[in-house]
Structure 1
Amino acid sequence: MECLVRWTVFSMVVLLRYTSANPITNTTTLPLKGGTLHCSNVRPMLSTEKGFGSETIPRDPVPANGLKVCIPSNDDGLNVSCCTTNMETMLATKARQDFDQKLQATLNNHLASILKGKSKKFNEFFSEMLTKSRKEFDEMFKRTYGQIYENNKDVFYELFEALSLYFEKGKIRLDKSLDNFFNNLYQKMFLVLNSQYRFDDKYMACVSNQMNGLQPFGDSPIKLSLQVKRSFIATRAFGQALNIAEEVVTSMLNVPPPTVCSHALTKMSGCNVCQGRVNLKACPGLCGNVMKGCLAYHSELDTEWNSFVDAFGKITERLLGPFSIEAVVEPINIKISEAVMNFQETSAQVSEKVFGSCGKPRLGARSAQEINYETISFGSRSKARNQPKINQTPLEKLINETNAVVRATKNYWSLLPEKMCLDIEETVSSQQENNCWNGKSRNRYTEVVVAGTGIAAQADNPEVKVTPAESSRQTGKLSEQMYKLRMLVSKLRNAQNGQDIDWNDDESDDEGITKGFLLIAFLSLLLNN
């Protein structure tokens, strides 16, 4: 009997030495026969892939007391885990960090950067076109009107400055700027055509008052003003829409997910580690519910965003059709020269009527100056304009490409949860519904997968329930972005109809919106309490 005891003790010592020298490192299953939990593969995975310190990771199962999320299923009657409470906290933090980083990459690095890039390219293209038009205008008028133009070119420069300022800031009235331009041009030309006389400020004020009745430029001011106004309004609206949409996307990163989202993320991508299943990916249904719940607030933006996409498409149609900015900016030198020629042809009648209304001016010291305007041939340009277009211009191509990018984002926010699940391939199983992590064990996900997105649809979400009380406290930032999109849609519709848009600068606009929503949030808090 004594020999048997000694032999048993010797055998156990040998076995212990062997197993300590040859640890099991290839198992990923739980539970094994006899309800044994293996944690040997947890330490290397957490150390190398998640950056956890190896000293915080137990080599063997530990009691699961104190765990709040990754609670063992107890199918084998054991209450042990590969995670300590500190590890569970670290896994929760890592799961939330991964979610935030993936959301930022999806929104900021993808959608927002694309919109920003298109906006930058469009703005640069338009600015170059306006600069080129100004240069061609200057060259043509120097060649045609010589020193007379040189002496009065500040009038024309002011017009181009006003057009540039409107596109950049939008804080001027285009119709008023064009009225001022033609009024100043009318007075300058009147002085040149009647240079043998002397005129004081009072007399010139009378001359200015006669313009509307005399119409010295014919109907050119009315036509040009209408064309410039509606085309520039639509062009600025197109560019600003991209800027505002990009700002909305970036701001949505500041919309926090529901409070219970962190719990669900940990359950989906952390608790499998606590049961030794480090390579087991989450079931698609589990990910769907988690993402729909965590992105419930973001999905609420879908309706307003889709309205923006539709309105953007309408303004695109206008820019490619009757509101074409190229049809206005490129031939603006011809259009203004036509107005000048109209005045030249009727200058004698205009001067006679002015003298009749304002009085005969005094002769000056200078003799009458003969004005000789070259006749401009419009035939070749008109012929080219009437030819059917075969190819798109570079600007039209850019506008079409930009609209295609925006159109592709329709339903973006309601599809965002699905996109997030598709993007995190390292976490979610690909169509392996029976061999995936269901949040508790390796098995099919049996909970009902929520069909809809948004706040209301998550009332029955088994993973992330969003309560009305919490949503009313957390949706201030969301409401602000929804309001921005509604205002943008309204401006795009005005631009589509050729109506003036009251563009505020970004700072004052954001300040006003922020103050308004702080008040709304405060009132909402009072009502809920």
Structure 2
Amino acid sequence: MARRDIKPFGNVPKKAIGQMGRSLLPSRTFLQALNLGIEVINTTDHLHFSKDCSRALLRMQYCPHCQGLTLSKPCMGYCLNVIRGCLANMAEVDLHWRGYIQSMEELSSAMSGTYDIEHVLLNFHALVNEALLQARINGPELSQQVNKVCGPPVRKPTQSPGCSFDQNKDNQGLKIFSRDSEETLTSRRKEFISHLRLYRAFYGGLADQLCGNELAAADGLPCWNGEDVVRSYTHRVVGSGIKAQSANPEVKVKGTDPVISQIIDKLKHVIQRLGVMLFPP
């Protein structure tokens, strides 16, 4: 019999390792995905506009001032063409950003029970109690096994400082404090996901939000079309994304920004990893 065959705590250590492993992997994957989300936001926040975009923005915002039309706002269609052209690369992130948020939401929902590190740690004391109980039940058998492997114990008289125990303190035991549900990691994670869900369409609808909320004139009001103040914008209004910009009359878009391509590849990769976590092979 080898020392490794002596198992004073039964299979509890193996159970504890299994629970820790199952709970730590989803948490680590969630944090890695969260860091990528931060990278996506920071990268798109610092994108540089092309020269064509800068000229189109200048024409839309400031050319009316040269004619003394300081209070005129761009027509809605005109504004959408300019902003969608400028943000065409950013709109390419939309589909993958939506998939990223959905995958984060699904993983967060799956992180419960033994797949939730907080749940495992808060209930770890139960495994410790179980391990001690196993050692107590198997005490005589364990003593025999230890004697076979290590030989009978040799007791030598030693001088050690006296130990005193406070019986009252010993009887108090461990105090388990109740935790408010709002303070748990699970509730914080759910709150974060609920806020993140609100920005699922952020990249696809950013141009519409900018024009609709502050840049463009309200429907029915005279507006600037890039040349003069008119009743309505008569040119075709294009959609979002790179492909749609081939028909954009206001901004020329040459192709996908390499930085955006890298971000999209990273999003695809993390979505795949999150999918593996949810549906392991």
Q: TM-score range by the shorter chain?
A: 0.7 to 0.9
Deviations 1:157-191 (A, max 9, x none): xxxxxxxxxxxxxxxxxxxxxxxxxxxxxxxxxxx
Matched, 1:328 2:120: yes
Q: Which runs of 4+ in 1 moved over 6 A?
A: none
- Give 1:29-108 correspondences, 5 Å limit: none
What's the offset of the Cα at 1:310?
0.9
Question: Aligned residues, how many?
Answer: 265
What's the offset of the Cα at 1:218?
2.4
Match of 2:233 among 445, 454, 467: 445
Matched, 1:431 2:229: no
Are the equivalent residues in 2 in contact too, given 1:229–1:498 (CA < 8 A)? Answer: no
- Report what 1:252 is aligned to: 44
State the TM-score, normalizing by the size of structure 2: 0.81
- Report what 2:272 is aligned to: 490
2:187 and 2:139 map into 1 onto residues whose CA distance is: 44
- Report what 1:88 is aligned to: none
The one-letter code matched in structure 2 to 1:459 is: S
Deviations 1:10-64 (A, max 9, x none): xxxxxxxxxxxxxxxxxxxxxxxxxxxxxxxxxxxxxxxxxxxxxxxxxxxxxxx
Match of 1:319 among 106, 111, 114: 111
**CA gap 1:341/1:245 in 2 versus in 1, 3 angstroms:** same
Are the equivalent residues in 2 in contact too, given 1:295–1:417 (CA < 8 A)? Answer: yes
Kindly indicate whether structure 1 or structure 2 has the higher relative contact order, using CA contacts under 8 Å at least 6 residues apart. Answer: 2
**CA gap 1:493/1:350 in 2 versus in 1, 3 angstroms:** farther
- Give 1:474-485 correspondences, 5 Å limit: 475-485=257-267
Deviations 1:312-348 (A, max 9, x none): 1111112245523332111212312311221232133
- Report what 1:518 is aligned to: none
SS for the counterpart of 1:260 is: helix
- Report what 1:407 is aligned to: 197
Are the equivalent residues in 1 in contact too, given 2:76–2:218 (CA < 8 A)? Answer: yes
2:155 and 2:56 map into 1 onto residues whose CA distance is: 92
Are the equivalent residues in 2 in contact too, given 1:269–1:282 (CA < 8 A)? Answer: yes
2:71 and 2:135 map into 1 onto residues whose CA distance is: 83
Q: Which runs of 5+ in 1 are unaligned?
A: 1-202, 368-373, 382-390, 500-529
2:156 and 2:31 map into 1 onto residues whose CA distance is: 51
Matched, 1:243 2:23: no
- Report what 2:154 is aligned to: 364
Deviations 1:356-399 (A, max 9, x none): 5x4x52543438xxxxxx99x9xxx9xxxxxxxxx955323322
Cα RMSD of the aligned pairs, angstroms, is 3.2
1:273 and 1:250 map into 2 onto residues whose CA distance is: 33
The one-letter code matched in structure 2 to 1:286 is: Y
Q: Which runs of 5+ in 2 are unaligned?
A: 158-169
- Report what 2:183 is aligned to: 394
- Give 1:240-319 correspondences, 5 Å limit: 240-319=32-111
What's the offset of the Cα at 1:497?
5.5
Are the equivalent residues in 1 in contact too, given 2:113–2:120 (CA < 8 A)? Answer: no
**CA gap 1:245/1:418 in 2 versus in 1, 3 angstroms:** same
Are the equivalent residues in 2 in contact too, given 1:283–1:429 (CA < 8 A)? Answer: yes
- Give 1:176-215 correspondences, 5 Å limit: 206-207=2-3, 209-210=4-5, 214-215=6-7
% identical equivalent positions: 28
The one-letter code matched in structure 1 to 2:195 is: V
Matched, 1:459 2:259: no
- Report what 2:161 is aligned to: none
1:348 and 1:476 map into 2 onto residues whose CA distance is: 70
What's the offset of the Cα at 1:223?
2.6
Are the equivalent residues in 2 in contact too, given 1:257–1:296 (CA < 8 A)? Answer: no
Deviations 1:409-466 (A, max 9, x none): 212111111122234x2x421223x510011111121110013x11111111111121
2:112 and 2:145 map into 1 onto residues whose CA distance is: 43
